[in-house]
Amino acid sequence: MGRGHLFILSGPSGVGKGTLRQRALNDIEGLVYSISCTTRRPRPGEREGVDYRFISREDFEERVKRGCFLEHANVHDACYGTLREDVERELGAGRDVLLEIDVQGALQVRSRLPEAVSIFVAPPSLEELERRLRDRGTEDDAKLRLRLKNAAAELQQAGKYDHVVVNGDLDEAAAALRKIILDYRMKHGVEE
Which residues of the chain register pLDDT less than 70?
1, 188-192
pLDDT at res. 143: 84
Q: What are the tens digits of pLDDT across the range 118-171?
A: 999 999 998 898 888 888 877 788 888 888 898 999 999 999 999 999 999 999
Residue 79 parent element (H or E): strand 78-83
User: Which has the closest alpha carbon to 167: 46, 19, 51?
Assistant: 19
Rounded to whole angstroms, the Cα distance separating 32 from 86 reads 11
Written as one letter, the residue type at 13 is S
What's the DSSP call for residue 159?
A: G
pLDDT at res. 74: 86
For the chain, the structural domain boundaries read: 6-187
pLDDT at res. 83: 95
pLDDT at res. 189: 58
Fold classification of 6-187 is Rossmann fold (3.40.50)
* b/e per residue 100-113 (b: at least 16 CB within 10 A): bbbbbbbbbbbeee
| Phi, psi for 113 (deg, rounded to 5) | -130, 80
pLDDT at res. 1: 63
